[in-house]
Amino acid sequence: MAILWRSLYNLNFRYEEILHRKIYGADYTHTYIQVVNQVLRLHKGLKLHEFGIHYPLDASSGCHIDLWVAFAIAFRVSKLELNFSTCPVLYWAFDTKDYSIPLTLFDRSKGIEPYLVQLDRVLSIRTPLLNVDNRFEGLKELFLKSVELTNQQFETILSSCTSLECLRLLDSPGLENIKHTVPHMKLNCLEIYHCSGLKNIGIFAPNLVSFKYLGPRIYILVKDAKQLINVCMCPSWRYGEYPITNSLALPYRQSKDFGFDLFAAYFPQLEYLMMDVRSYKVSVSGFFGNKIAVDFIIAVFDFAIELEKIEITAVYLGDPSNCFNSLRHSEIDFNLVRESIQQLHERMPAKVQLYFLDDL
């Protein structure tokens, strides 16, 4: 067994495999931590492909988790998963505080040597020589579940992990304003789920291919993602953010509306778009009659069972700087627009009121 642990490139510590059952409690947590530490002592490889912790640990185990993350970084891990989900879990864990990653672990301007020294002194684990400036060059995927993140920690992770291709966040209520204004050239997949405190998302990722979001009603800006082909956005009902008279409206600058037209600029390039629309009224701007836009409006109706009214205009009413594919008024083919509006009238049920706001 010792020889096996020494040679593994993937270290995923799943509680049901370690404890042979899905069971929690202080005694079992202690056992889980002991097993992880023992395996890390045995490991003699030079590089890790995957490293994952899958157990409902919290801030009280932070001193151990910090060292495990430092261990993974030191061995140039490619895929790092911290899954501290507390569901399902017994009542004793409900009042716990989520683990939070120290900024020093991911901040390039700060060294992680103190953690490596602790690995040596406390756990007798010697780590490979580490180039501090390039310590994140191997990290391609990062998955964090029930990990407390601040806005600064999110920004620090993206700024330091320039090779990161996929970032998945789930259940991080401390996040409020996700913002990354410097282009991240490697990020191609971003998924954010159930971060209840979120108010804004602003991401500059030119090579982003897939964006998925499930959470409260917020303002979302994905800038210059000309490779984007896969979008999935579903507002979560558990936050109670939708009043009965909700209107899924246009994203005016002073608004915090959650709106599908935030991605209107990407319609011509999208291959997959899924949205959960629970609304009585939908407004579409920047409509110039192409088949993709017509099919999209039909698809919105298919999802929005209670939809009663659709307003359409050829004028793009969002921020022009966010729309790289908008047409000037003189470039719009109004014959095509008229034909498309007629198609929509023919395909829409009688109960839906379809209004075109421009004078054709």
Pairing of strands 177-180, 147-148: unpaired
pLDDT tens, 273-299? Answer: 565 555 566 777 778 887 777 877 776
Whether residue 184 is contained in a domain is answered as no
**What is the residue whose two structure tokens read 């490889």?**
45
Global model pTM greater than 0.85:
no
Question: Mean per-residue pLDDT for 38-46?
Answer: 85
Question: Mean per-residue pLDDT for 42-46?
Answer: 81
Whether residue 71 is contained in a domain is answered as yes
Domain coverage including residue 12: 1-175
Q: Are 10 and 49 in contact (CB under 8 A)?
A: yes
Residue 357 pLDDT: 84
Residue 42 pLDDT: 86
Whether residue 253 is contained in a domain is answered as no
Number of domains in the chain: 1
The helix (H) or strand (E) run that includes residue 7 is helix 2-7
Residue 255 pLDDT: 35
Question: In angstroms, how far is CA 354 from the centroid of its own chain?
Answer: 34
Residue 246 pLDDT: 27
Q: Are 192 and 210 in contact (CB under 8 A)?
A: no
Higher pLDDT residue, 291 or 300?
291
Q: Are 51 and 141 in contact (CB under 8 A)?
A: no
pLDDT tens, 229-270? Answer: 887 776 654 433 333 322 222 233 333 334 444 565 665 566
Residue 65 pLDDT: 97
Higher pLDDT residue, 53 or 237?
53
Whether residue 292 is contained in a domain is answered as no
Whether residue 8 is contained in a domain is answered as yes
Phi, psi of 47 (to 5 degrees): -150, 145
pLDDT mean across residues, the chain? 77
Phi, psi of 346 (to 5 degrees): -75, -30
Higher pLDDT residue, 180 or 329?
180
**What is the residue whose two structure tokens read 């059952």?**
21
Q: Quick count: other Cβ atoms within 10 Å of Cβ 224?
A: 17
Phi, psi of 289 (to 5 degrees): 85, 5
**b/e per residue 292-318 (b: at least 16 CB within 10 A):** ebbebbeebbeebeebeebbbbbebbb
pLDDT tens, 85-128? Answer: 855 444 344 557 899 999 888 887 777 888 888 988 988 888 77
